[in-house]
Structure 1
């Protein structure tokens, strides 16, 4: 018989190693938050190669692997790949007492991990789907530092934040998201400037501006209201997009020859913040 506690501990070690972070708390939170509590009753449907495979039973040992688990198969909504989230969480490096915005919280599993890492700081979790938001609120009821909002993070005014953690693909981050970042704050989001370009983008607000790093491939379902570039957008191929090193608001600075992507009131540049403009 496989002992569930052993399975969780091994899963947590794998996630901590995948995160590439020296923070020892990562292993503890992955071990301490039961994934099955956020998935609904088993057996569960594991997503693989565009299809779904049902777990042999409702034994939670089956979902402590690097697998996508369907939350709403008809809408293509899943509880995301743990390895990816381990890397993202390690990269944004949550610290105690920080304020987090989680966009696209689903049923709350990764919200719970973030909440434990920033406690006594607060997590505001946005979920647009009514059923998922209701499930997240129920699942996270015991987390006193989490506020689940059934609402649209694209049109909402976000409070000042240390971390914005986005789990839906955007053509460009809304200007209000960038403005909500405190000095030194971080945002990670799935970047989809075109249908064929899918990158995970890390943004850090510095004294000079918004530094960015497209650090891996990434594909998420579209973020309603922020996933379409629009006819006036200027987009290029993946190689040029991957050279982006800073993000600017067009209200603050007009796009120049370093522009890699221009979408609405936001544009991306191949020039890092603080670097000299090419002559």
Structure 2
């Protein structure tokens, strides 16, 4: 893999890319996140060319150039095209990482790491005194992530089912696949003031043309544990590849969740009710042991 640009020129291109991605994400001021996008080399995590760019419903198309400069755009590139697993949209991840608001020294669980591009950004944001637990279900992708992240002493890569991690309390959980409900571990191991970002979604009835199953409806949610409950911020409509492993099993709530998406109002959800009675008439969705409510969590 060679470039017509020198390493110094590529560094400038990455910095311009970082500025553009944050602007696309309507982020006015987040210098630490901008630095993460400017310094983590995307080509290190995509393997050797030819790279496959996602064309949405049309599947994948091979990129004509093998110059890594072409990777610095707001596009999805395949990590495992037969499974529909991509290195996701930089602007979407910028929006989510900005909402996650990581601080130096924090401990974060990254669930569904792929080959580790956004894991490396998490590692940058928490710094040398922080730690990132990186969990990937696919054994091939997990091994690639382990190699790609070997230089990051503050990252531990685990090959396993994301539903089972983290196993210790963390300050943040960052999930990169769609699920019909949050895993127990994501909620129950979240510290006070901890943040969980995950894509809530209902799968399409059939696999996508490009491989894998993606969400038919999806919402990015940021859940924050407060003294009085679990506050929710809606991050917008999202589409992700759906979970593998235990979380891929159709749950009893799937039809009710799809009906909630179709009825609308997910953007007005302000709290997640967990293992408590849901307030009657105040919920966008009520499932088995959890609900999404319009009520604010008291400060």
Alignment TM-score, normalising by the size of structure 1: 0.91
* C-alpha distance in 2 between matches for 1:57 and 1:23: 32
The correspondence of residues 1-279 of structure 1 with structure 2, limited to 5 A, is: 3-19=9-25, 20=27, 22-50=29-57, 51-119=59-127, 120-193=129-202, 196-224=216-244, 225-227=246-248, 230-231=251-252, 234-235=256-257, 236-238=259-261, 239-250=264-275, 252-254=276-278, 256-274=280-298
Change (3 A) 1:8 1:123: same
May I ask how many residue pairs the two structures share in their alignment?
274
Matches of 1:200 and 1:184 in 2, distance apart? 19
Structure 1 ranges of 4+ moved more than 6 A: none
In structure 2, runs of 5+ residues without a counterpart are 205-215
Aligned partner of residue 19 in structure 2, secondary structure: helix
| Distance in 2 between residues matched to 1:191 and 1:73, nearest whole Å | 22
Secondary structure in 2 aligned to 1:12?
A: helix
Q: CA deviation at 1:27?
A: 1.8
CA distance in structure 2 between the partners assigned to 1:142 and 1:204 by the alignment:
31
Q: Which moved more, 1:207-216 or 1:241-250?
A: 241-250
DSSP-derived class of the 1:197 partner: strand
With normalisation by structure 2, the TM-score equals 0.85
Whether contact under 8 Å (1:260, 1:270) holds in the other structure is yes
CA distance in structure 2 between the partners assigned to 1:193 and 1:244 by the alignment: 17
